[in-house]
Amino acid sequence: MTIATPPQALQNARSLDSYWMPFTANRQFKAAPRLLASAQGMHYATEDGRKVIDGTAGLWCVNAGHGRQPITQAVERQLATLDYAPSFQMGHPIAFDFAERLAAIAPGEGAGKLDRIFFTGSGSESVDTALKIAIAYQRAIGQGTRTRLIGRERGYHGVGFGGITVGGLVNNRRVFPLLPGADHLRHTHDLERNAFSKGQPDHGAELADDLERLVALHGAETIAAVIVEPMAGSTGVLVPPKGYLERLREIATRHGILLIFDEVITGFGRLGTPFASEYFGVMPDLMTTAKGITNGTIPMGAVFAARKVHDALMNGPEATIELFHGYTYSGHPVACAAGLATLDIYAGEGLLTRVQALAPLWEEALHALRGVPHVIDIRTIGLVAGIELASRPGAVGARAYEAFVDCFEKGLLIRVTGDVIALSPPLICEPSQIEEMVSLLRGALERLA
Ligand SMILES: Cc1ncc(COP(=O)(O)O)c(C=O)c1O
> Is a pLDDT exceeding 70 seen at residue 7?
no
Query: Which segments of 267-332 does DSSP mark as H helices, in order?
Result: 276-280, 307-313
What is the CA(130)–ligand 1 centre distance, in A? 13
Residues linked to residue 306 through DSSP beta bridges, in sequence order: none
Torsion from C-alpha of 3, 74, 58, 371, nearest 10 degrees:
-80
User: What is the pLDDT confidence band of residue 56, given thresholds at 50, 70 and 90?
Assistant: very high
In this structure, is residue 69 part of a structural domain?
A: no
Statement to judge: residues 406 and 306 lie in one domain: no
The CATH number given to whatever domain includes residue 292 is: 3.40.640.10
Q: Are strands 412-413 and 51-54 parallel, antiparallel or unpaired?
A: parallel
Instruction: Say yes or no: 38 and 125 in one domain.
Output: no
Instruction: Count each helix (H run) and each strand (E run) in the chain, helices first.
Output: 17, 15
Kindly report the length of the chain: 449
Residue 321 lies in a domain: yes
Whether 34 has a pLDDT exceeding 70, the answer reads: yes
- AA identity, residue 432: S
Atom of ligand 1 nearest to the CA of 233: 16
DSSP string, 147-159: -EEEEETT----S
Over 70: is that where the pLDDT of 4 sits? no
Instruction: Please give the distance, rounded to the nearest whole angstrom, from the Cα atom of residue 442 to the centre of ligand 1.
Output: 28
Secondary structure of the chain: what % helix, strand, coil (to 5)?
Answer: 40, 15, 45
- The pLDDT confidence band at residue 5, using thresholds 50, 70 and 90, is low
One domain for residues 338 and 277: yes
Print the domain residue range for 105. Answer: 74-348
> Where do the DSSP E strands lie in 250-330?
258-262, 286-289, 301-305
Instruction: Look at residue 398 and tell me whether its pLDDT is greater than 70.
Output: yes
Among the atoms of ligand 1, which is closest to the Cα of residue 262? 1
Residue 136 CB: number of other CB atoms within 10 A? 18
Residue 11 has pLDDT above 70, yes or no: no
pLDDT attached to residue 14: 80
- How remote is the CA of residue 229 from the centroid of ligand 1, in Å? 10
Atom of ligand 1 nearest to the CA of 60: 14
User: Does any domain span residue 134?
Assistant: yes
Is residue 1 situated within a structural domain? no
pLDDT of 291: 98
For 338, phi then psi, to 5°, come to -60, -40
317 CA to centre of ligand 1 in angstroms: 36
Task: Using the mean position of ligand 1's atoms as its centre, give its distance from the Cα of residue 446 in Å.
Answer: 31
Average per-residue pLDDT in the chain? Answer: 96
Q: Mean pLDDT, to the nearest integer, of 12-33?
A: 92
Query: Which residues have CB under 8 Å from 174's CB, separation 6+?
Result: none
Report residues whose beta carbon is within 6 angstroms of any ligand 1 atom. Answer: 122-124, 127, 156-158, 229, 233-234, 262, 264-265, 290
- Domain end (from 296, 325, 348): 348
Residue pLDDT, tens place only, 254-303: 999 999 999 999 999 999 999 999 999 999 999 999 999 999 999 999 99
CATH of the domain at 385: 3.90.1150.10
Question: Whose C-alpha lies nearest to ligand 1, atom 5?
Answer: 158
pLDDT in tens, 95-140: 999 999 999 999 999 999 999 999 999 999 999 999 999 999 999 9
Q: Are 329 and 339 in contact (CB under 8 A)?
A: no
- Summarised one tens digit per residue, pLDDT across range 346-370 is 999 999 999 999 999 999 999 999 9
Round to whole Å and give the CA distance between 140 and 131: 14
Nearest atom in ligand 1 to 122's CA: 10
Amino acid 2: pLDDT: 53
3-class SS of residue 322 = coil
Do residue 210 and residue 312 come from a single domain? yes
pLDDT digits (tens, 9 = 90+) for 158-186: 999 999 999 999 999 999 999 999 999 99
Residue 196 and residue 311 in one domain: yes
pLDDT at 392 over 70: yes
Asked if residue 158 is part of any domain, the answer here is: yes
The torsion of the CA quartet 424, 302, 342, 62, rounded to 10 degrees, works out to: -20
289 and 235 assigned to the same domain: yes
- Residue where a domain terminates, one of 313, 348, 383: 348
How far is the C-alpha of 316 from the C-alpha of 383, rounded, in Å? 46
Please check whether residues 341 and 356 belong to one and the same domain.
no
Q: Among residues 323, 348, 373, which one ends one of the domains?
A: 348
pLDDT given at position 9: 46
Q: Say how many domains are in the chain.
A: 2
The answer to whether 37 and 10 have CB atoms below 8 angstroms apart is yes
Residue 384 sits in the same domain as residue 326: no
> In whole angstroms, what is the distance from residue 370 CA to residue 123 CA?
33
Nearest residue (CA) to ligand 1, atom 12: 158
Section 324-338 average pLDDT: 98
Are residues 392 and 276 part of one domain? Answer: no
Please give the distance, rounded to the nearest whole angstrom, from the Cα atom of residue 85 to the centre of ligand 1. Answer: 26
Residues 199-238 pLDDT 10s: 999 999 999 999 999 999 999 999 999 999 999 999 999 9
